[in-house]
């Protein structure tokens, strides 16, 4: 048996093409989830498939005891698209990327003679991953329960509570860590002026600003990184989900100041930056940076947003609010559970996923067609129409 960590829906998908998924009876579903914002280029993208197949026949694994030239090419590519950064570390997942980011932020202060700075301010409703450090960082009681005392080093504050944020900073504070759009916590867009406030605060207090763009990055908002809309940049950024389009990979992008803090022996990963993942990331990045790609995401997201607002107008009985940015949107439900809503949508052939705060998450592939967007919203309408809630 499997350990009971998940309670999956009963459907099991056996193949996928573009924004379509198929179950074992060949019933087709429209994908409005992309895993969890992972398969941003849809399923079976020919360029990704070709990049991976080519590498599969050459070599899979050599370890980081040897130069992996695709790792260097991939880093150069990422850096050329991310002007704030001058160094990259590759790992295999979001949690690993965030762990490395936190270690790098502490280590930066350490090499600057400020080793007493180790604490990180984090925000309520955040989700950063499931390791001991990261469940403490997010502070969600359901994730901490039964695992002993939360790891020390995190102070949780509220977005927008400037007095609370400033009074939580002391001599031991190293960094402020935030998702520019909170994902799992309920699709909350952090306003641009709030990100700018945090940047200015970090600068004036000598703190590092850490962005977790594991869900909101990778072109999901129509820019490679969600924070680009704010005009400011972080000292360190993490990416994962959409970066490998389904092949496990994570990345930490560090500014010049932080990039020098890791020396041989400081940190590492057996699989991090392996040859298969690197080829996929290179292909993924070339799709993201292809001409017209980002503007098409913006065009699609305006249509989806408009249709969802219209849906909310017609089904205000069920939908309280439409939130989010780009193709990272959420429907906050007025009644009923987001889980039941997602189950009903699935039975009608639409894949959406629930998240905290009774929100239905919509994360379609960035390559979805305008037609499929219209069809998806029609299916959401049908989902609302027959949605019977247990409670009201
Ligand atoms: C998914 C997610 C993580 C954790 O990533 P894993 O690959 O599951 O470890 C961290 N931060 C954010 C914002 C995420 O959405």
Any domain includes 168: yes
Residue 142: what pLDDT?
A: 95
The token duo for 170 is 């002391």
The token duo for 208 is 């590092």
Distance 95 CA to ligand 1 centre (A): 6
240 lines ligand 1 (CB under 6 A): yes
Look at the chain and report how many structural domains it folds into: 2
Residue 392: what pLDDT?
A: 47
Determine the Cα–Cα distance for residues 300 and 72; give it in Å rounded to an integer.
33
212 lines ligand 1 (CB under 6 A): yes
Domain boundary among 288, 306, 328: 288
Domain boundary among 288, 304, 328: 288
Residue 390: what pLDDT?
A: 61
The residue nearest atom 15 of ligand 1, judged by CA position, is 215
Q: Which atom of ligand 1 is nearest to the CA of 179?
A: 13
Q: Which atom of ligand 1 is nearest to the CA of 130?
A: 9
Is the model's pTM score more than 0.95? yes
Tell whether 150 and 276 lie within a shared domain: yes
The residue nearest atom 6 of ligand 1, judged by CA position, is 94
Let me know: does 163 contact 157? Beta carbons within 8 Å. no
Residue 30: what pLDDT?
A: 98
CATH number at residue 113: 3.40.640.10
The residue nearest atom 10 of ligand 1, judged by CA position, is 128
The token duo for 252 is 């930490």
Determine the Cα–Cα distance for residues 158 and 230; give it in Å rounded to an integer.
19
Tell whether 61 and 111 lie within a shared domain: yes
Dihedral of the CA atoms 302, 304, 305, 308 (nearest 10)? 160
Low-confidence ranges of the chain (pLDDT < 70): 390-392
Let me know: does 324 contact 189? Beta carbons within 8 Å. yes
Give the domain range for residue 61: 47-288
The token duo for 159 is 């977005």
Secondary structure of 12-37 in HEC code, one letter for each residue: CEEEEEECEEEECCCCEEEECCHHHH
Judge residue 361's burial from the number of C-beta atoms within 10 Å of its C-beta, 0-12 exposed, 13-18 middle, 19 or more buried: buried
Q: Best of 37, 128, 135 to mutate for ligand 1, by most ligand atoms within 8 A of CB?
A: 128
Q: Best of 127, 216, 353, 359 to mutate for ligand 1, by most ligand atoms within 8 A of CB?
A: 127
Tell whether 235 and 103 lie within a shared domain: yes
Determine the Cα–Cα distance for residues 132 and 120; give it in Å rounded to an integer.
14
Edge to edge, the sheet with strand 13-17 lists: 13-17, 20-23, 28-31, 350-351
Domain boundary among 256, 288, 320: 288
Q: What does the pLDDT look like over 296-326, one tens digit per residue? A: 999 999 999 999 999 999 999 999 999 999 9
Tell whether 182 and 234 lie within a shared domain: yes
Within 10 A of 266 (CB to CB), how many other CB atoms are there?
13
CATH number at residue 320: 3.90.1150.10
Tell whether 54 and 161 lie within a shared domain: yes
Q: What does the pLDDT look like over 68-122, one tens digit per residue? A: 999 999 999 999 999 999 999 999 999 999 999 999 999 999 999 999 999 999 9
Residue 386: what pLDDT?
A: 84
What is the DSSP code (8-state) at residue 191? Answer: P
Residue 184: what pLDDT?
A: 98
Question: Is the C-alpha dihedral spanning 333, 139, 255, 239 positive or negative?
Answer: negative
129 lines ligand 1 (CB under 6 A): yes
Q: Which atom of ligand 1 is nearest to the CA of 129?
A: 4
Residue 89: what pLDDT?
A: 98
Let me know: does 105 contact 178? Beta carbons within 8 Å. no
Let me know: does 240 contact 279? Beta carbons within 8 Å. no
Q: Which atom of ligand 1 is nearest to the CA of 96?
A: 9
Residue 347: what pLDDT?
A: 97
């Amino acid at each position: 048996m499997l350990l009971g960590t998940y309670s999956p829906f009963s459907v099991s998908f056996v193949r996928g093409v573009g924004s379509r998924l198929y179950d074992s009876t060949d019933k087709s579903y429209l994908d409005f989830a992309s895993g969890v914002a992972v398969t941003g280029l849809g399923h079976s993208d020919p360029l990704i498939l070709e990049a991976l197949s080519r590498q599969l026949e050459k070599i899979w694994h050599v370890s980081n005891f040897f130069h992996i030239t695709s790792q260097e090419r991939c880093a150069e590519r990422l850096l050329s698209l991310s002007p704030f950064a001058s160094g990259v570390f590759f790992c295999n997942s979001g949690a690993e990327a965030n762990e490395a980011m936190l270690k790098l932020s502490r280590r930066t202060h350490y090499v600057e003679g400020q080793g007493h700075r180790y604490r990180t301010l984090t925000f309520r409703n955040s989700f950063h991953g499931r390791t001991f450090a990261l469940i403490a960082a997010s502070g969600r009681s359901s994730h901490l329960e039964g695992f002993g005392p939360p790891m020390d080093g995190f102070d949780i504050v509220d977005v927008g509570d400037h007095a609370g944020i400033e009074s939580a900073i002391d001599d031991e504070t190293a960094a402020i860590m935030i998702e520019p759009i909170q994902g799992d916590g309920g699709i909350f867009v952090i306003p641009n002026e709030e990100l700018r406030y945090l940047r200015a605060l970090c600068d004036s207090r000598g703190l590092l600003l850490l962005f977790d763009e594991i869900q909101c990055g990778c072109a999901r908002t129509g820019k490679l990184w969600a924070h680009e809309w704010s005009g400011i940049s972080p000292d360190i950024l993490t990416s994962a989900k959409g970066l490998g389009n389904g092949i496990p990979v994570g990345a930490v992008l560090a500014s010049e100041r932080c990039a020098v803090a890791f020396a041989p022996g400081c940190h590492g990963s057996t699989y991090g930056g392996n040859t298969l993942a690197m080829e996929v990331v290179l292909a993924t990045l070339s799709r993201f940076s292809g001409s017209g790609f980002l503007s098409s995401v913006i065009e699609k997201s305006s249509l989806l947003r408009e249709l969802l607002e219209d849906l909310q107008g017609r089904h205000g009985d069920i939908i309280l609010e439409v939130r989010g940015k780009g193709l990272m949107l959420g429907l906050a439900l007025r009644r009923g559970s987001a889980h039941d809503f997602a189950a009903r949508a699935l039975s009608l052939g639409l894949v959406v996923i629930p998240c905290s705060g009774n929100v239905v998450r919509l994360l379609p592939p960035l390559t979805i067609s305008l037609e499929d967007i219209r069809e998806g919203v029609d299916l959401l309408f049908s989902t609302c129409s027959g949605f019977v809630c247990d409670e009201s």
